[in-house]
Structure 1
Amino acid sequence: MGPTNNNKSTRPGERLSDGLAHQQDHSRRNFLRNLGIIGTSGFLLNKIPVNALGMSPLMAALAGADDDRVLVMIRLKGGNDGLNTLIPIHDFGTYQRHRPDIFVPRNEVVDLTSTLGLHPQLAPLRSLWNEGQMRVVQNVGYPGQNLSHFRSSDIWATASDSEEVINSGVLGRYLSIQHPDFLSMPPATPPAIQIGGPGNLLFNNADDFNYAISTENPTQLYQIARTGQLYDVNDVPDCTYGEQLSYLRAVANTTFRYAGVLAQAYDAGENSAEYRNDRLGDQLSLVARMLRGGLGTRFFVVELDGFDTHANQVRDHGYLLQSVAENVTAFFADLKAGAIDDRVLAMTFSEFGRRIFQNGSAGTDHGAAAPLLLFGKGLNGNGMTGGLPDMNDVDNNDNMKFQVDFRNVYATVLSNWLCIDGDLVDNIMGAPFERMSDLGLFCQGTTSTRNRNTTELPFKAYLSGGEVVLEYDLPTSSRVAVHFFDVSGKKLSAPYSGQQLAGGHVQRFALNSVGWASGLYVVSLEVNGKMHSRKLGVFR
């Protein structure tokens, strides 16, 4: 669990303690506001929020790295219900008792391990899990959970403590440090793109200006390039108004310049996977196409709204989870077809979870701790961390207590996936938040050997004499289970579960009893909640 930082001077950017608003007069921004063009989410172009994004220390560090890794953040807007996303099968009776009308029936739960099950609409994610490209962080939150959508969203974007207000986002602080005059020297490729709601503070600097190229409608990123024009920043009156007009034109020029780059990548790329015909599908398909077209952008934020399920949760939540599962699976299939799936890490986030108890409208109200999902080859295997949800140990609002500070996840992704210098990450985060080694992330050439050795279990699966044979070594006494899946990810059986001592083990399962026909199968060995999988071909 990361520390609560009370030193108000350690984080770059303006801190607004005690909820006081920033009162300084920024003439350029005020001029744009007076024209009705700019707000806290940037300026409007063709009625679309669009913002220019410049070089940052994060981008500079990436430019010097050995790879070009990408982070895609998937915002589940509204407060996702964790208990109906990852079903608490370890304490199913309590879960069902507190949610008699909205619980997921046990026979519909998609089991991943003996303690981890998915909502049935998340079933497509099982293929990523079996391929070692999905990890789950349970019980994510922060101290002093705020149950307001707006305030909690700001906390997640700024990495602030709950009792302080900061007007700069985590990535916005990178931008303001490295390149305060980004309009005069914009990079050739936009380093970040945000699709969806324009109000997120993630890319805001201390002056309340949002740096990200942002649009409500994903298709309009492409349309802008076809309809835009450039403005002369010199042919303006020699006065204060002319200075401000030149600034506005410079911002617009940067936007159009990036729009051309986006259009070029869009034209060069393609989609090979089948996405759902919905908002999230449109966003992720566009991101995949531009990445496959060679776009060098390394940060993307996409959004799926509707998770504020106070009523009719069974119907609405299931539909949303189906969108997440099908579109994320399609997204990584698309990236794989373009041979770039090893470059991309995707991560869900939501401002809070939901209450343990259902309400009177067949829904759930604002809660606290909830799970966070990560996807990608860079995870180096599947697994769960953060502990099991405890519906009995609750806070004063009858919400589950958080066990993992979301800022630990942020710091780990920045340090171990994007390979940013640790001191720089601590400076931007405002405190040295703990890095989570059990996420399986590492930087090439630095911690890869150590992490691989500590997370991967020696495990063999093969056919011999009409039997499926499993050989493995346990470093300590462990809870072990065996699971069999077909190649599509459908679970066929779990023939063994029990406690085993440290040392070498061999398990045999007769093919006649397994009932496998010819084809490909996945054999998964679960050790203390972590899955280790191998593919096995049967040919008769």
Structure 2
Amino acid sequence: MGHKNNISSGSRKGAKLSDGLAHDQDHSRRNFLRNLGILGTSGFLLNKLPVNSLAMSPLTAALADGDESRVLVLIRLKGGNDGLNTIIPIHDFGTYQSLRPDIHIPRADAVDLTSTLSVHPQLEPLSTLWNDGQMRVVQNVGYPDQSLSHFRSSDIWATTSDASETVSSGVFGRYLNDLYPDFLSAPPETPPAIQIGGVGNLLFNNSDNFNYAISTENPTQLYEIARTGQLYDVEDVPECSYGEQLSYIRAVANTTFRYAGVLAEAFDAGENSAEYENDRLGDQLALVARLLRGQLGTRLFVVELDGFDTHAGQTNAHANLMNSLSKNVAAFYDDLSDGGIDERVLSMTFSEFGRRVYQNGSQGTDHGAAAPLMLFGKGLNGNGATGGLANLQNANNGNLNFEVDFRSVYATVLSNWLCIDADLVDSVMGQRFERMEDLGLYCQGVTNTRTPDPATTIGMKAYLSGGDVVIDYDLPAATNVGIHFFDVSGRKLSSPFQGRRPAGQQSQRVAMSSVGWSSGVYIVSLEVNGRLYSSKLGFFK
């Protein structure tokens, strides 16, 4: 189940470390927490894959008010997928071939789905899904003023912002504090979303840059968690200051792995019956299928296939990626079908950008603009292609002009597949985007009336200053307020203030001497009209 990590007893079992050595090695609690990813986030291995649990947001919370059986699996093609070698432009094959003399897909090798739609030969395993009405293609997807930067474009896809604005919050984390501000003290029993195999990005950040994806670079065995109810042994540590610190850190880690039992139970209850490729994407999709077949209630999954930044030697590299994508997606739906749940699951590929129309001097392609994305599942109610054919003649400096805004695809999937109320989707997206009725997604009349109320935004922050805990917040009207302290397991410790406060900016201080905290990580919660607004705070003597 993986390699040794820094907070497993491992080779340190039974060892004695002097206080001086512990100090020299800077085994401070704060550095441990920061370096191990425990301060604010955590995660673990499941079937040899890192699993990150995405916390509650208004969007993911609203899933419970829609069609609760429906699941969305996002397949990230990381690096910028070459759309022209994915969906072959047979309508202008001569131009395509002349611009890519060494890396084009020969016409005889392209797999024809229709008389006008052909795909890479390694995508042939998807033909069955297409023929069964379970695959659609959206061509020329992008956004205005494509940045051509991996990092910036990934942020735009995550935040749904315009290219001209910088937004630090992601589409799934943006309104967390508006609708579910008490996540830190009262998390949901089942993770509403899970990202497998790959670190989180701005998709999961709120406006305070708090990442709600739980992740760590040093996960350990899942079955030890399920068997003992905790991740690390807090007793088997050296008898010194370092051992005390190590015991404390392990205790913090144990409390943060709150979804381990739920996932282990679903993992044990599920099974796989399809043949996946022995690669990273195969492992991820097999795990998603097994969890869903084990009756996990999670609605949103993100998996990742890396390697699409094909600046050089593209032909073989891209073919291998297409092979992995097609065979694993086909196996995934075979697996879901065997479990009788394939009607519930919609999958969608996305990539931060496409590639240039022409090949470069290294027999690869450079960063481009528009690219296709593909959707899979019975919920599509038939096959088809949306968006116009790639216009190679009208490419701008080698960049295809986008026709479909990716945010319209997002909004359509959220509204018409996950059945989230249109107003809430628009709020989460930041503005209204046109719904694409030609994707074949329908909601059967399910509505959602939960919408964020901007007037209830408190903007609470907690921090340490001069021996005090300071809680800053903004009240839209005079109201009763309560301040509560919790430990990281959610156990309430004290309520140092309860009373009425006037409207406007507030700043309250609570002396640490009256709180009586020992070193650790705590949750400070502000209660306003029965709702909790929470912030995690580390205190180290």
- Normalising by the residue count of structure 1, what TM-score does the alignment of the two structures yield? 0.70
Q: Deviations over 1:144-188 (max 9, x none)?
A: 101111111111111111111111111112434322221211111
SS in 2 for 1:356: coil
1:358 equivalenced with 2:383 (yes/no) = no
Where does residue 493 of structure 2 map in the other structure? none
Distance 1:52 1:303, change over 3 A: closer
Task: Kindly report which structure 2 residues correspond to 1:134-533, keeping only aligned pairs within 5 A, or say none.
Answer: 134-214=135-215, 225=226, 229=230, 252-253=253-254, 255-395=256-396, 397-445=397-445
Where does residue 114 of structure 1 map in the other structure? 115
Q: Report the Cα offset of residue 269 of structure 1.
A: 0.3
Where does residue 36 of structure 1 map in the other structure? 35
Q: Deviations over 1:58-105 (max 9, x none)?
A: 344322334321110000000000000010111111100000000111
1:139, 1:403 within 8 Å by CA — same for their partners in 2? yes
Give me the whole-angstrom Cα distance separating, in 2, the residues matched to 1:41 and 1:360: 45
1:195, 1:217 within 8 Å by CA — same for their partners in 2? no
Q: Deviations over 1:358-407 (max 9, x none)?
A: 01111101100000100001100000011100011122x32010000000
Distance 1:414 1:439, change over 3 A: same
SS in 1 for 2:174: helix
Q: Deviations over 1:273-293 (max 9, x none)?
A: 000000000000000001000
In structure 1, what residue type is equivalent to 2:432? P
**Which stretch of the first structure deviates more once superposed, 59-68 or 425-434?**
59-68
Task: Kindly report which structure 2 residues correspond to 1:81-92, keeping only aligned pairs within 5 A, or say none.
Answer: 81-92=82-93
Q: Deviations over 1:113-138 (max 9, x none)?
A: 11100100000000000000000000
Identity of aligned residues (%): 73
SS in 2 for 1:378: helix
1:195, 1:214 within 8 Å by CA — same for their partners in 2? no
Distance 1:39 1:202, change over 3 A: farther
2:281, 2:304 within 8 Å by CA — same for their partners in 1? yes
In structure 2, what residue type is equivalent to 1:416? N
1:342, 1:376 within 8 Å by CA — same for their partners in 2? yes
SS in 2 for 1:295: coil
**Which stretch of the first structure deviates more once superposed, 46-55 or 101-110?**
46-55
Distance 1:219 1:114, change over 3 A: farther
Distance 1:319 1:227, change over 3 A: farther
Q: Deviations over 1:216-244 (max 9, x none)?
A: 79996667545761799xxxxxxxxxxxx
Task: Kindly report which structure 2 residues correspond to 1:27-66, keeping only aligned pairs within 5 A, or say none.
Answer: 35-38=34-37, 42-43=41-42, 53-66=54-67
1:37, 1:44 within 8 Å by CA — same for their partners in 2? no
Q: Report the Cα offset of residue 271 of structure 1.
A: 0.3
Distance 1:361 1:107, change over 3 A: same
2:42, 2:215 within 8 Å by CA — same for their partners in 1? no
Q: Report the Cα offset of residue 48 of structure 1.
A: 9.4
SS in 1 for 2:349: strand
Give me the whole-angstrom Cα distance separating, in 2, the residues matched to 1:383 and 1:41: 44
2:51, 2:194 within 8 Å by CA — same for their partners in 1? no
Q: Report the Cα offset of residue 50 of structure 1.
A: 6.6
Give me the whole-angstrom Cα distance separating, in 2, the residues matched to 1:289 and 1:50: 14
**Which stretch of the first structure deviates more once superposed, 51-60 or 270-279?**
51-60
Q: Report the Cα offset of residue 253 of structure 1.
A: 4.8
1:136, 1:383 within 8 Å by CA — same for their partners in 2? yes
Give me the whole-angstrom Cα distance separating, in 1, the residues matched to 2:248 and 2:290: 32
Q: Deviations over 1:422-447 (max 9, x none)?
A: 11111111111110001111102369
2:53, 2:193 within 8 Å by CA — same for their partners in 1? no
Give me the whole-angstrom Cα distance separating, in 2, the residues matched to 1:250 and 1:52: 19
In structure 1, what residue type is equivalent to 2:302? V
Give me the whole-angstrom Cα distance separating, in 1, the residues matched to 2:49 and 2:331: 27
In structure 2, what residue type is equivalent to 1:324? L
Distance 1:316 1:221, change over 3 A: farther
1:54, 1:179 within 8 Å by CA — same for their partners in 2? no
2:222, 2:260 within 8 Å by CA — same for their partners in 1? yes
1:183, 1:251 within 8 Å by CA — same for their partners in 2? no
Distance 1:133 1:252, change over 3 A: same
Distance 1:36 1:71, change over 3 A: same
Q: Report the Cα offset of residue 254 of structure 1.
A: 5.6
SS in 2 for 1:297: coil
Give me the whole-angstrom Cα distance separating, in 2, the residues matched to 1:66 and 1:273: 27
2:353, 2:367 within 8 Å by CA — same for their partners in 1? yes
Q: Deviations over 1:295-346 (max 9, x none)?
A: 0011110001000001111100000000000000000110011111111110
Give me the whole-angstrom Cα distance separating, in 1, the residues matched to 2:345 and 2:176: 22
In structure 2, what residue type is equivalent to 1:432? R
Give me the whole-angstrom Cα distance separating, in 2, the residues matched to 1:408 and 1:122: 25
Q: Report the Cα offset of residue 51 of structure 1.
A: 5.3
1:218, 1:282 within 8 Å by CA — same for their partners in 2? no
What do you get for the CA RMSD once the two structures are aligned? 3.1
Distance 1:218 1:381, change over 3 A: farther
User: Structure 2: which 5+ residue stretches go unaligned?
Assistant: 1-28, 234-245, 448-541
2:33, 2:39 within 8 Å by CA — same for their partners in 1? no
2:49, 2:196 within 8 Å by CA — same for their partners in 1? no
Number of equivalent positions: 407
SS in 2 for 1:67: coil
1:196, 1:214 within 8 Å by CA — same for their partners in 2? no
SS in 1 for 2:91: helix
Q: Report the Cα offset of residue 211 of structure 1.
A: 1.3
Distance 1:293 1:131, change over 3 A: same
Q: Report the Cα offset of residue 213 of structure 1.
A: 4.0
Q: Deviations over 1:444-485 (max 9, x none)?
A: 2369xxxxxxxxxxxxxxxxxxxxxxxxxxxxxxxxxxxxxx
1:390, 1:400 within 8 Å by CA — same for their partners in 2? yes
SS in 1 for 2:413: helix
1:355, 1:399 within 8 Å by CA — same for their partners in 2? yes
Give me the whole-angstrom Cα distance separating, in 2, the residues matched to 1:317 and 1:227: 44
SS in 2 for 1:172: coil
In structure 2, what residue type is equivalent to 1:414? L
**Which stretch of the first structure deviates more once superposed, 209-218 or 246-255?**
246-255
Q: Report the Cα offset of residue 411 of structure 1.
A: 0.6
Distance 1:224 1:211, change over 3 A: farther
1:168, 1:203 within 8 Å by CA — same for their partners in 2? yes
2:61, 2:192 within 8 Å by CA — same for their partners in 1? no
